[in-house]
Amino acid sequence: MGISQKSDPRRIAVLGATGSIGQSGLDVIAASHGRLTAAVLTAHRQTAKLAELAGRFRPEVLVVTDPDADRTPLADLAKTTRIFYGPEGLDEAVSSPEVDIVLAAIVGGAGLRGSWRALEAGKTLALANKESLVLAGSLLCGLARKTGGRILPVDSEHSAIWQALASCRPAEAPYGPGMPGSGEQIRRLILTASGGPFRNRPLAELERVTVAEALAHPTWKMGKKITIDSATMMNKAFEIIEARWLFGLPPEKIDVMIHPQSIIHSMVEFIDGAVVAQLGTPDMRLPIQLALNGMERLPGPAAPLDWSMTRTLELIPPDEGRFPAISLGRRVARDGGSAGAVVNAANEVAVAAFLAGKIPFCRITGICQSILDHHQFEQEPSLERLFELDRQARMEAQAWISD
Ligand code: NDP
């Protein structure tokens, strides 16, 4: 379908509208010439920002997931807009027939609830919240298979792989969790990683790096939690797990390469030796747009690459001794079961403690490792059990931090 033959607008629920991905998603909606509309916006605490966004995008429903957030900024909107307070507000908003696609952009394990409800209702889930798959990849993929819900990648690396995979099967083929077929044409996926701000920092200095240094990502502008995850490479660990579930490949077929320029967003090597990569500026609006438009190519707000300048694109195998999170990610991807929930919970607590100045940067991965090592592994936990294990792991991580 051409750009001028606009179909009915696709109605998007933007979960985490006040965050970095949420804002990029709203930029994409604003630039879509009415092809996309914001039907639902959610925030956790930033109600003044949510009110401002609601004034611009006129959604039918707002959800404020923290029931104790300041409600005053939304008082006037309550006359014209349905407003839910509390996390359970997500359930109705996401599964409403007024929603076509759910952009899951809440940060952390808190994002799982919206992802789950979206797939349960058979919706298309444009997934930025990788923690959903880290926590409950097996259950979410099973749910999507049952309801016909689809998971489309928003994470730039997984979007790049999705695009590269279109070279070995029709681009318009239905996409869902797991590869159609067994993925036998694929030799490996290669996730690229910028290496973060400490790629070349002597290991002994990591004890003393400041929060401001860790938040100064060299190429991407993102929310605080994922920026710290990028510095520790826990983000890449989570992406290995995410790829394992999205593409149904074993972790041995998922490699990582350091690519400091963040222009190559990831690659697929096929069994004939061909390597297909996707390149572009580091701008999340491109993968978001692709997911919201079901892989259709349209003009959008992301700036194209500047081809007038000479560039060097480096690809460097990672030093896994420097970044132990990578092997941790492979281990969790291989084990599945309860491992992801436990590591994710420990990581959230450790990152928050680092940001609050309570632990040094170099302890974050160690705490995740220790919690995983002490955890009684369960192969097939239910969703309720995963939430319980998440709570327990958070308490244990707090105890490690207080020690
Ligand atoms: P931000 O911190 O910028 O935004 C987080 C959003 O989640 C905000 O809208 C926030 O609301 C909301 N939120 C926070 N806590 C809760 C909670 N307990 N319950 C419900 N909502 C909550 O994060 P990012 O946009 O950077 O990241 C969002 C997700 O996307 C993460 O999973 C991240 O890994 C992933 N991602 C991000 C990328 C990026 O470029 N930023 C790239 C690829 C993936 P409020 O503002 O009101 O507190």
Summarize pLDDT for 121-163 with one digit per residue, the tens: 999 999 999 999 999 999 999 999 999 999 999 999 999 999 9
Q: What tokens appear for 102 in the block? A: 């759910």
How many of the other CB atoms lie within 10 Å of CB of 1?
Answer: 7
Burial code (b: 16+ CB inside 10 Å, e: under 16) for 51-82 equals: bebbeebebbbbbbbeeebeeebbeebeeebb
307 falls in which pLDDT band (50, 70, 90)?
very high
Ligand 1 centroid distance, CA of 348 (Å)? 12
The residue whose CB lies within 8 Å of the most ligand 1 atoms, and thus the one to mutate among 106, 112, 220, 230, is 106
Q: Structure pTM?
A: 0.96
Element (H, E) at 111: none
For residue 220 and ligand 1, the question of a CB distance below 6 A is answered with yes
For residue 155 and ligand 1, the question of a CB distance below 6 A is answered with yes
Element (H, E) at 206: none
For residue 131 and ligand 1, the question of a CB distance below 6 A is answered with yes
For residue 284 and ligand 1, the question of a CB distance below 6 A is answered with yes
Tell the burial category of 49 from Cβ atoms under 10 Å away from its Cβ (0-12, 13-18, 19+): middle
For residue 364 and ligand 1, the question of a CB distance below 6 A is answered with no
The residue whose CB lies within 8 Å of the most ligand 1 atoms, and thus the one to mutate among 74, 226, 349, is 226
185 falls in which pLDDT band (50, 70, 90)?
confident
For the ranges 113-117, 171-175, 253-257, 308-312, which has the lowest average pLDDT? 171-175
Average pLDDT over residues 300-314: 96
Please report the pLDDT score of residue 181 as a whole number.
Answer: 53
- Average pLDDT over the chain reads 93
Ligand 1 centroid distance, CA of 262 (Å)? 21
Protein residue closest via CA to atom 9 of ligand 1: 16
- Pairing label, strands 186-193, 124-127: unpaired
Ligand 1 centroid distance, CA of 136 (Å)? 18
Please report the pLDDT score of residue 248 as a whole number.
Answer: 87
Q: How far apart are CA 30 and CA 285, in angstroms?
A: 11
Please report the pLDDT score of residue 15 as a whole number.
Answer: 98
Summarize pLDDT for 202-255 with one digit per residue, the tens: 998 988 999 999 999 999 899 999 999 999 999 999 999 999 999 988 999 999
Please report the pLDDT score of residue 31 as a whole number.
Answer: 97
Tell the burial category of 370 from Cβ atoms under 10 Å away from its Cβ (0-12, 13-18, 19+): middle
Are 104 and 242 within 8 A, CB to CB? no
* Closest C-alpha among 329, 318, 403 to residue 365: 329
In the predicted structure, residue 177 carries a pLDDT above the cut 90:
no
